Amino acid sequence: MRGSWPKSQITLLLYLIVFLIPVGFFTVSKSFDTVYKDAQMMQKAAWLKEIVPLFFESKDLETSDIVIQKIDQTLQEISLWISKNGKYSALGENRQVLEEDFLDASACWNIYKQDRSKHNLLLCKEKFIHFAAFLEDRILAEQRQLANLFYLSLAFLMLFVLFLIYFVRLYMHIQHKKHSIYDHDTMLFNKKYFDSQLALACDQSKRYKTHLSLLLVSVKGFDNKTYSSRSKRNFLQSVGYIFHTSARTSDIVCRYNEKLIGILLPFTSKENASVLTERIKKTLKEYEFGLSPKIEYSFIETEYSPDETAEEFIARSLSLL
C-alpha cells in the first residue's frame, strides 16, 4: 500500500460494511424461516400418511367428520406451500412431479370422501406415503443446500473479517508512521522530526547568535548477513538507549537513516560537542552487544554557520562522512 486512502473512500467502505451487516442477518433469517416452514410441511405430510390408516378404524362419526376437516385443511396448507415454493431451487424440475403426486393423493382423498370405501382408503394411504416420502426427500435436499450455503457464507464472512482486520491494522500502521515522530526500532526521534527541529534550531542560532552543533554517528557493518533479525533488533534497542541516556535533555537525538544517528546540540560549540562524542565512544566500547564481527562507528562533529541554510548545514555535515 503506497499511500493512505482519502477519507471519502474510508467512509464509503464503512457505509458498505454497515449495509452488508443487516443484509446478512436478513438472509440468514429468511433461510431459517424457510427451514422452519419446510419442517412444518414434512410434519403435515407425515401426519397424513399416519392418520389415513387410523381413520378407517374410527367408528365415531362425529370424530370422523372432525378428522376429515383436519385432513382437508392440511391438504390446503400443503397445496399453498407447493404453489409458493415451487420456484425454489430445491424443488426446481421436481416441482411438476411433486404437484402430480399431491394432486393424485388429493383426488384419491376426494373420491374416498364420496364413497367411503375401504379400497379407496387403502389406495389413498399408498399415495400419501409416496407423496410424504418424495416431499421429505426434496425438503432434505433443500436443507442441505441451505446448510452448504450457510457454511460458505460463514467462511466468506470470516475471510472478509480477517481482510478487514488486516486492512485496518495496515491503515493504522501507515497513519502511525506518517504522523509519528519516533523511530520504532530505536525509540529515538525520526528524520521527519529531526529536519523540522534542525530548521527551527538554525533560525534560533542565527537570530540569537548562539552556537549550534551537529554530531553524526555512522554505524558500519550493520548490514552484515551473519547477524540474525533478533540480534539486529536488540542492537538497535541498545544503541537507542545508549544515545538517549548519553545526551542532554536539550539535545535532539534521532535515527537519521538505517545507518546514521544524528544528535542536534543547541547552545553547543564544536569543541564542547567532542565531550559528548568521547562519552558515547566510551559507552559503546564498554557495552557488550553480542555481535560478531563487532560493529564499527565513525563520528563527525560540525558547527552551524549563520550564512548557510539548514539544508546546506546538513548537506555539509553528511559530505564529511
Contacts of 79 (CB under 8 A, 6+ apart): 102, 106
What DSSP designation does 297 have?
A: E
39: left (phi > 0), else alpha (psi -120 to 50), else beta?
alpha
> What is residue 106's predicted lDDT score, i.e. its pLDDT?
86
User: What's the topology of domain 191-319?
Assistant: Alpha-Beta Plaits (3.30.70)
Binned average pLDDT, 10 residues per bin, the chain of 321 residues:
53 71 74 78 83 62 71 86 62 70 85 77 82 81 77 81 77 71 90 93 94 95 79 91 94 94 96 95 91 89 95 95 86
C-alpha span between 219 and 69 (Å, rounded)? 95
pTM: 0.51
> What is residue 214's predicted lDDT score, i.e. its pLDDT?
97
Q: C-alpha cell of 197?
A: 527541529
> What is residue 162's predicted lDDT score, i.e. its pLDDT?
82
Give how far Cα 61 sits from Cα of 57, 65, 121, 230, Å: 11, 6, 16, 91
C-alpha span between 105 and 127 (Å, rounded)? 5
User: Which run of H or of E encompasses 212?
Assistant: strand 212-220
> What is residue 3's predicted lDDT score, i.e. its pLDDT?
45
> What is residue 58's predicted lDDT score, i.e. its pLDDT?
56
